[in-house]
Amino acid sequence: MNHPETIERLVERMGSYPREGLACVVGDQRFSYGELVVASRRVAGYLSGIGIGRGDRVAIWLPNSFEWVASLLAVGSIGAILVPINARFQRDEAAYVLRQSGSRALIARASFAGTEYRGNVARWFPNLEGDGAREDDERIASLEHVVWVGGDAPAGAHPWEEAVSCKGEAPEAGCQGMDPVLIQYTSGTTSFPKGALLTHYGILHNAYMVGDRMHIGPGDKVFCGGPFFHIGGVTMQVLLSLIFGVPFYTLDRFDPTAALEMVAQHGCTTYSGIESLFLMVRNLEHFDKEGFSTVRTGWMTGSPETVRLVREEMGIEDILCIYGTSETSPNVAICDLDDSLEKRMTSCGRAHPGCEIGIVDPDKAKPLPPGAKGEIVTRGYNVMLEYYGKPDETEAVSLEGGWFRTGDMGSMDEDGYLYYHGRYKEIIRVGGENFSPEEVEGILYKHPAVEQVALVGMPDETYGEVPVAVVRTRPGCALSVEEVREYLGSKVAGFKIPRRVEEVDEFPMTESGKLQKFRLRERLLEREGHR
């Protein structure tokens, strides 16, 4: 199967699908391919008519929705660059993305999940007559147009209904596969977000390769639990579905009960995402894996122990582990359904065609042999063009020969299978010994009292740093440091055993569901009086 190399060509392909065929279900709303193609072409014509064109940045501040997907296709079709903004970002966070990207247009709505958009947009956009103060230092100079989704569009904004009714056609953009189409801001697990500039071919070929490894075909129904503003959601779920011509099912925001109901009601055949999207469903009191009986496969991030739980307790026997980053469109490696069960349970798979993986010494950047742990580096069609507007940060992650430094620790076996061992910035250094917390976390996940766990390094006068286990226990359970020591005593070296256990009700997460260990460590330091 060939796949389109640009968004413009993807929309053309979708025009050949059955017009009444089901493209997507958002909550309780169903949309056909005909509706999606017409909407995307009309919005493309409208954006072109107000002066948006090739290379212009168009930000989108919406939750998962039909309008989000139509906007993605419209913006890409005219050669402009989409800038997704986290739907739960507050004013300063969203303003940073708009300013840093130099966005000329913003597609937004009044509010979502307690986040008020309208007053914020009024502060940034001088022509908008709406709520909120008009302070000059908050105006965003590049922002010229606001397209408003939903009723009650403020004066000065372009109503979505007007855009989606446009009869004008956008001119042929003539984009090439390696032209930029998306600025994907990193999730902010360790620092303020940077915008990875990704290409048409990068995200489309990535989506195709993931679907190929999952053996996507007629009859499949893709559940999309992740947010579209996250690279895994837009690429490996939405675009994957559109390329293969199979419908996707989504919610405006993830809710485990609603997800379970949607999968069961529609008979979804794939369920994918970061490990928390699986664990939240599995941990429901009323979870019954019969509700997942139609799910045959999916991709996930997580430890081998989490993969085992998904197979055995959720019944997704052909779950595939993956590795990727926002900067790599995102997938670098993924298992194949044809791989052995052992490889699918323990590894992140192999690089797909057009992508290379290496393991290097993190200090000298010299290649390491199979089995050795080092920094994961990668190169290929999927690697970002740059961190948008940040040449120094781009140079810091670039090696000679086009290799991208991920900052992740990994190893590869002689057959090219990749094994992920954690973030280098999260390595715990106890005296003269270093270890990855993921190793110990994977063991603790097997403890019957543990629902979620994270190890962090905390200051120590003798050893410099010691491990502390932060745990959320299962309902009705408790866990002492003595129990943890006894449980781990025969399994890991003494320096890896947590010195204490801290129980929490929730973990600090990014909006895309990634654990923010640096925030967790900050909370513990504040509690202990460190500054």
Task: Supply the mean pLDDT for the chain.
Answer: 93
DSSP-assigned states of every residue in 5-52: SSHHHHHHHHTTS-TTSEEEEETTEEEEHHHHHHHHHHHHHHHHHTT-
Last residue of a domain, one of 195, 216, 247: 195
| DSSP H helix total and E strand total for the chain | 17, 29
Tens digit of each residue's pLDDT (9 = 90 or more) over 133-142: 455 458 899 9
Quick one: average pLDDT of 16-37? 98
Residue 334 lies in a domain: no
Q: Reply yes or no: is the peptide bond before residue 330 cis, omega within 30 of 0.
A: yes
Quick one: average pLDDT of 26-50? 99
Of 286, 316, 320, the closest CA to residue 300 belongs to 320
Does 437 have pLDDT greater than 70? yes
Other beta carbons within 10 angstroms of residue 138's beta carbon come to 16
Structure tokens at 429: 């250094």
Q: Which residue has the tokens 């105006």?
A: 139
Does 276 have pLDDT greater than 90? no
Of 415, 424, 454, the closest CA to residue 438 belongs to 454
Alpha helices in 133-255 (DSSP H): 160-163, 200-213, 231-233, 240-244
Q: What pLDDT sits at residue 512?
A: 58
Last residue of a domain, one of 160, 195, 230: 195
Longest CA–CA span in the chain (Å) reads 72
Spatial distance between the Cα atoms of 527 and 470, rounded to a whole number of angstroms = 13
Q: When comparing pLDDT for 64 and 152, which is higher?
A: 64
| Domain total of the chain | 2
Does 531 have pLDDT greater than 50? no
Q: What pLDDT sits at residue 126?
A: 72
The CATH number of whichever domain residue 440 belongs to comes to: 3.30.300.30
β partners of residue 408: 423
Residue 251 lies in a domain: no
Q: What pLDDT sits at residue 190?
A: 47
SS (HEC) of 424-468: HHHCEEECCEEECHHHHHHHHCCCCCEEEEEEEEEEECCCEEEEE
SS3 347: coil
What confidence tier does 88 reach under pLDDT thresholds 50, 70, 90?
Answer: confident
Structure tokens at 398: 């670039």
Structure tokens at 106: 């913003």
Q: What pLDDT sits at residue 421?
A: 86
Q: Length of the chain, please?
A: 531
Instruction: Give the list of residues 6+ apart from residue 179 with CB closer than 8 angstroms, or none.
Output: 6, 79, 199, 200
SS (HEC) of 57-90: EEEEECCCCHHHHHHHHHHHHCCCEEEECCCCCC
Quick one: average pLDDT of 228-232? 95
Q: What pLDDT sits at residue 527?
A: 86
Residue 28 lies in a domain: yes
Residue 37 lies in a domain: yes
Q: When comparing pLDDT for 425 and 64, which is higher?
A: 64
Q: Which residue has the tokens 């949607």?
A: 262
Q: What pLDDT sits at residue 326?
A: 93
Does 324 have pLDDT greater than 70? yes
Residue 329 lies in a domain: no
- The answer to pTM > 0.85 is yes
Residue 248 lies in a domain: no
SS (HEC) of 479-495: CCHHHHHHHHCCCCCHH
Residue 212 lies in a domain: no
Does 178 have pLDDT greater than 70? yes
SS (HEC) of 109-154: CCEECCEECHHHHHHHCCCCECCCCCCHHHCCCCCCEEEECCCCCC
Last residue of a domain, one of 195, 227, 242: 195
What confidence tier does 189 reach under pLDDT thresholds 50, 70, 90?
Answer: very low
Range(s) of the domain holding residue 80 = 7-195
What confidence tier does 215 reach under pLDDT thresholds 50, 70, 90?
Answer: very high
What confidence tier does 439 reach under pLDDT thresholds 50, 70, 90?
Answer: confident
Residue 305 lies in a domain: no
Q: What pLDDT sits at residue 432?
A: 76
The CATH number of whichever domain residue 176 belongs to comes to: 3.40.50.12780
SS3 357: strand
β partners of residue 41: none
Q: In this structure, what are the phi and psi dihedrals at residue 47, rounded to the nearest 5 degrees?
A: -60, -40
Other beta carbons within 10 angstroms of residue 92's beta carbon come to 9
Q: What pLDDT sits at residue 235?
A: 98
Burial tier of 511 (Cβ tally within 10 Å: 0-12, 13-18, 19+): middle
Express as a percent the part of the chain with pLDDT over 90. 77
Tens digit of each residue's pLDDT (9 = 90 or more) over 66-79: 999 999 999 999 99
